[in-house]
């Protein structure tokens, strides 16, 4: 039931969906002039290699050997058939999950943290600044910076900093320096948008420092395509010609993009984004240019957004609390190539617990969103009497989110 690739079967190039998108992406705009941003505008924040990847028209981009060496610490990741879940649902569907929880930080995020740290090192940065919500991205970047001897400064949303110490401890164990955000207002619980502003301010005011973003941007989704590329090979090992539907939770769009983008060109494969109904960017937001942060310091991006001032309620899936969405995912939804659904968090924990009780693994609350949609898809297939091949991204484990399960199991979960 587990489909494994050997280390030398790891993809050696990332798949760039840009040229295959139904519509070309609109350019990012300078926050002050509203003109398309050029490489010089972005140079204070990112190394040139990543700026080039952001706008590349090449369908494939080689993964540097030094990056492959580190990804091999946990890749290729397993593809697993969730047969016990299928049986419990009595479904005619076949459910496969790509297990990204096996990385050092416990999620898909190191897939991009490692190449981002690498290119910064190559171009002479000494230090990276970033933001983190519950700490998934911060811990992935702290791990990656350690591999290349870079300093890592993490602005952590204050509410999480105060209430969820374990990922802060992970970051510190990997040598990162963590401070609560917003730095200039100790009374504020903070938000991802505010923390991005803090990290960007740090990077633009220090010569030795660049900024790193864990989702949303084109180069981040690019780095995550190793997930879908491996899954394609593994589905073939399982005897499946193709999935009928590919599902991922969607905060900024990176784990979903990672598993779904390699299937965009196959029109027979449905693609589904799953988001929280308390932060319904794709299902209820508007498609327009908006800032990536709360203070309006980042470039304007063409995306579905709830407005950069939107502060989502504090649900447990911290990684899904973002006002905007990746321009690539937004474009796929806008053109109808991708579907989007939203669920309240109670329904996602119900699904996560059903998964834990059949497959054994405890998913991250973000991953629970994907599992909710998978279960509903499998039940719909049963209803229709169809064999349906469902592929989803198991984006991370929930071992550091047990207080959320505690709330759910003891009736304290706010069902927003
Ligand atoms: C960060 C995170 C997400 C959401 O971010 P995306 O960029 O949309 O993938 C989902 N699952 C886990 C486990 C995460 O850590």
What does the pLDDT average to over 375-402? Answer: 97
Q: Within 10 Å of residue 233's Cβ, how many Cβ atoms?
A: 15
| Residue 284 clears pLDDT 70, i.e. is over it | yes
Distance 255 CA to ligand 1 centre (A): 6
Of 91-100, 180-189, 307-316, give the range with the top mean pLDDT.
Answer: 91-100
Rounded-to-integer distance, Cα 282 and Cα 322, Å? 11
* pLDDT at 246 (0 to 100): 98
* pLDDT at 416 (0 to 100): 65
Q: How would DSSP label each residue in 51-105?
A: HHHHT---SEEEPPHHHHHHHTTTPSPPEEE-HHHHHHHT-SSEEEEEEGGGSTT
270: left (phi over 0), alpha (psi -120 to 50) or beta: beta
Does residue 223's CB lie within 6 angstroms of at least one atom of ligand 1? no
| Residue 415 clears pLDDT 90, i.e. is over it | no
* pLDDT at 313 (0 to 100): 82
Q: Where in the chain do CATH 3.40.50.1100 domains reside? A: 66-107+219-409, 110-213
| Residue 302 clears pLDDT 90, i.e. is over it | yes
Does residue 249's CB lie within 6 angstroms of at least one atom of ligand 1? yes
Distance 33 CA to ligand 1 centre (A): 32
* pLDDT at 68 (0 to 100): 98
Asked if residue 384 lies in contact with residue 368, where contact means CB atoms within 8 angstroms, the answer is no
What does the pLDDT average to over 159-185? Answer: 94
Does residue 396's CB lie within 6 angstroms of at least one atom of ligand 1? yes
Using pLDDT thresholds of 50, 70 and 90, give the confidence band for residue 317. confident
Single out the residue of 413, 403, 415 nearest to residue 134, CA to CA.
Answer: 403
What does the pLDDT average to over 78-86? Answer: 98
Rounded-to-integer distance, Cα 189 and Cα 182, Å? 8
What does the pLDDT average to over 101-122? Answer: 98
Model pLDDT for residues 36-68, shown as the tens digit of each residue: 999 999 999 999 999 999 999 999 999 999 999
For the chain, percent of residues with pLDDT exceeding 90: 91
* pLDDT at 164 (0 to 100): 85
Distance 210 CA to ligand 1 centre (A): 22
Count of alpha carbons within 13 angstroms of residue 85, beta-carbon side: 28
Give the global pTM. 0.97
Q: Is 8 exposed, middle or buried (0-12, 13-18, 19+ CB in 10 A)?
A: exposed
Does residue 294's CB lie within 6 angstroms of at least one atom of ligand 1? no
Compute the mean pLDDT over every residue in the chain, rounded to the nearest whole number: 96
Does residue 104's CB lie within 6 angstroms of at least one atom of ligand 1? no
Q: Is 189 exposed, middle or buried (0-12, 13-18, 19+ CB in 10 A)?
A: middle
| Residue 136 clears pLDDT 80, i.e. is over it | yes
| Residue 347 clears pLDDT 90, i.e. is over it | yes
For residue 177, report the phi and psi dihedrals to the nearest 5 degrees.
-105, 125
* pLDDT at 190 (0 to 100): 86
Q: Within 10 Å of residue 328's Cβ, how many Cβ atoms?
A: 27
Quick one: tokens of 256? 């979903």
Model pLDDT for residues 141-150, shown as the tens digit of each residue: 999 999 999 9
Q: How would DSSP label each residue in 185-204?
A: -TT----HHHHHHHHHHHHH
Tell me the CATH architecture of domain 66-107+219-409. 3-Layer(aba) Sandwich (3.40)
Model pLDDT for residues 223-280, shown as the tens digit of each residue: 999 999 999 999 999 999 999 999 999 999 999 999 999 999 999 999 999 999 999 9
Please, which residues have CB within 8 angstroms of residue 289's CB and are 6 or more apart in sequence?
A: 29, 300, 301, 302, 303
CATH top class, domain 110-213: alpha beta
Distance 273 CA to ligand 1 centre (A): 12
């Amino acid at each position: 039931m587990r489909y494994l690739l050997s280390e030398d079967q790891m993809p050696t190039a990332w798949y760039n969906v840009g040229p295959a998108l139904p519509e070309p992406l609109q350019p990012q705009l300078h926050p002050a002039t509203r003109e398309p941003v050029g490489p010089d505008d972005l140079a204070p924040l990112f190394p040139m290699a990543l700026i080039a990847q952001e706008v590349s028209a090449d369908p494939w981009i080689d993964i540097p050997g030094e990056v492959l060496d580190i990804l091999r610490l946990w890749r290729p990741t397993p593809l697993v058939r969730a047969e016990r879940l299928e049986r419990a649902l009595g479904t005619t569907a076949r459910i496969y999950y790509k297990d990204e929880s096996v990385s050092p930080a416990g999620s898909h995020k190191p897939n991009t943290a490692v190449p981002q740290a690498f290119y910064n090192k190559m171009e002479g940065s000494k230090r990276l600044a970033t933001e983190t919500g519950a700490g998934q991205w911060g811990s992935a970047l702290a791990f990656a910076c350690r591999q290349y001897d870079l300093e890592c400064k993490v602005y952590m949303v204050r509410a999480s900093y105060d209430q969820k110490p374990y990922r802060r401890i992970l970051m510190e164990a990997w040598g990162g320096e963590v401070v609560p955000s917003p730095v200039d207002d100790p009374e504020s619980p903070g938000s991802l948008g505010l923390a991005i502003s803090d990290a960007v301010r740090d990077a633009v005011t220090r010569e030795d420092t660049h900024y790193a973003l864990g989702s949303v941007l084109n180069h981040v989704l690019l780095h995550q395509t190793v997930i879908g590329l491996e899954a394609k090979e593994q589905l073939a090992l399982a005897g499946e010609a193709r999935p009928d539907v590919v599902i991922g939770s969607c905060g900024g769009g990176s784990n979903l993009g990672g598993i779904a983008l390699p299937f965009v060109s196959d029109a027979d494969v449905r693609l589904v984004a799953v988001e929280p109904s308390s932060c319904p960017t794709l299902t209820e937001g508007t498609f327009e240019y908006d800032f990536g942060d709360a203070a309006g310091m980042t470039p304007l991006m063409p995306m579905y957004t709830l407005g950069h001032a939107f502060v989502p309620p504090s649900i447990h899936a911290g990684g899904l609390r973002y006002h905007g969405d990746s321009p690539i995912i937004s474009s796929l939804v806008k053109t109808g190539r991708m579907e989007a659904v939203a669920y309240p968090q109670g329904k996602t924990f119900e699904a996560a617990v059903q998964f834990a009780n059949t497959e054994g693994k405890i998913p991250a609350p973000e991953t629970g969103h994907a599992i909710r949609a998978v279960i509903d898809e499998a039940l719909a297939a049963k209803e229709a009497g169809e064999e349906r091949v469902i592929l989803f991204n198991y984006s991370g484990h929930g071992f550091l989110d047990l207080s959320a399960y505690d709330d759910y199991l003891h009736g304290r979960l706010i069902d927003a």
